[in-house]
Amino acid sequence: MNEQLNTFIQVAESGSFSKAAEKLFVSPTAVMKQMNLLEKQVGVPLLTRTNHGVGLTEAGKSFSKDAAFMLQYFQEALLRTRHAAQTIQVIRVGTSMLNPCKVLLDLWNEISDQYPQFKINIVHFEDDAYTLPTTYRTLGQNFDFIVGPTLTENWKDYFRVLELGSYRFCFAVSRNHRLASQKTLSVKDLYGEKLVVVNGGKCAAIETIRDFLIRNHPKIKIKYIPRLYDLDVFNRCVESNTIMLTLDAWKDIHPSLVTLPSDLDFTIPYGLLYPLQPSEDVHQFLEIIKEMQSKN
């Protein structure tokens, strides 16, 4: 019926089987067969056929008023039916204080109505420096994605990354620190201070900053903590009134810390961390995000 309605509308508008056939990229004979079938189904003649063209009978004029509406309603009903038949694909996204998923959710919310077959489930996990390596190694078991920076050099052994952007390095100080009222901090502002640099994952970006500071700014006392970032490190920096090398993405992690922009010209990439062997659903989801990135 969908094809017959569309053909009828073209015939009625053009007044000719051949002109309608040109618009529909079919033969005039195919158009006539469609109209004969439509009239048989309706039960009354809809068209008058003459040597000068095709016209509408009174019944055809009445039918013509509803044909466009019926065609649109049929197409919308078909779309709803197909959507209803689609299997819901659940994408599990891990979130934590140091690896918040807001960046991904903001991206997805822009296009989610175009992909109703996907449903996002948020799964919370703890930011513990001792369990985080296991979380990386078991990506895909409890959740399909984590959004965060790549803070370990051997990440390629455990997961893949779809890069979304980069975080800038900043300095975090206790609200009681003498530098807390500054709008920005230069490296020289840290002379005489202790600076905590956390790098339990042998992160090249952090090691580069550490080497840069040691070589060019020896008046800063580097305190190197051989663990990954976790909330305990933030707490210890507050308690000891020690400055911490951190990321702009973590500015709201601890209420007793003030995160200030620095003049360090260093960044670290962040993105979607996902399993080495992603499921078909995860693969499809990734392709959608990649397509969205290519358009921006």
Each residue of 66-78: pLDDT tens digit? 888 888 888 777 7
Alpha helices by DSSP H, listed for 92-166, are: 102-109, 132-137
Return the half-sphere exposure (C-beta side, CA atoms, 13 A cut-off) of residue 116. 9
CA distances from 44 to 7, 38, 57 (A): 17, 9, 9
- Asked if 171 and 242 touch (Cβ cutoff 8 Å), the reply is no
Question: What is the biggest distance separating any 2 CA atoms in the chain, rounded to whole angstroms?
Answer: 100
Residue type at 8 in one-letter notation: F
- Asked if 159 and 239 touch (Cβ cutoff 8 Å), the reply is no
162 phi/psi in degrees, rounded to 5: -105, 105
Give residue 127's pLDDT: 79
Give residue 83's pLDDT: 65
pTM above 0.85, yes or no: no
Of 202, 275, 227, whose CA–CA distance to 130 is shortest? 227
Q: pLDDT digits over 212-224, tens only?
A: 999 999 999 998 8
CA dist., res. 227 & res. 234, Å (int) = 12
Evaluate the CA torsion angle 105, 110, 116, 117 in order and state its sign.
Answer: negative
- Asked if 116 and 85 touch (Cβ cutoff 8 Å), the reply is no
Give pLDDT tens digits along the chain (296 positions).
678 888 898 899 999 999 998 988 889 899 999 899 999 988 999 999 988 889 999 998 988 888 888 888 887 777 777 666 667 789 999 999 888 999 899 989 988 888 888 999 999 988 777 787 788 888 998 899 999 887 766 777 888 999 999 999 999 999 999 999 999 999 999 999 999 998 756 778 888 888 899 999 999 999 888 777 788 889 989 999 999 999 998 988 899 999 999 998 899 899 999 999 999 999 999 999 998 888 77
CA dist., res. 286 & res. 198, Å (int) = 31
Q: pLDDT digits over 136-193, tens only?
A: 888 998 899 999 887 766 777 888 999 999 999 999 999 999 999 999 999 999 999 9
The per-residue pLDDT of the chain, averaged, comes to: 88
